[in-house]
Amino acid sequence: MIAKTPLPPYYAVIFSNLRTAVEEGYSEMATLMVELAEQQEGFLGIESVREDLGITVSYWQDLDSIRNWKMHVDHQVAQQKGRTDWYKAYKTRIAKVERDYGFEK
């Protein structure tokens, strides 16, 4: 569940969001978008959690792979539906991971 990413540098897209009450189509699309993202070149991993606030962090090899995913035609449809139906607010942050460290029992 914690993404197994390679050594830095790589990129993170931090997508923080608040949902509307509209459920129709959302969970199917969310599942589909994760499956599709995983197939994209440069995809490194994804972590996603929701309470009221949702945070999805996807990890990517470089800015080009992020740009290609943003522009993917099916993802564009999902983004559009996100703005009209599913999200009350969101913020997307593109960040270069410079360092990481971890711990596992």
Chain residues in the site for its own copies (CB under 8 A)? 1-3, 5, 8, 11-12, 14, 16-18, 20, 47-55, 57, 83, 87-105
Taking the complex as a whole, how short is the minimal distance between the CB of residue 70 and its own copies, in angstroms? 10
Q: What are phi and psi of 34, to 5 degrees?
A: -65, -45
Residue 31, SS3 per DSSP: helix
Taking the complex as a whole, how short is the minimal distance between the CB of residue 66 and its own copies, in angstroms? 10
Strand partners, 18: 53, 89
- 8: Cα separation from own chain's centroid: 18
Task: Kindly tell me which of 25 and 50 has the beta carbon lying closer to its own copies.
Answer: 50
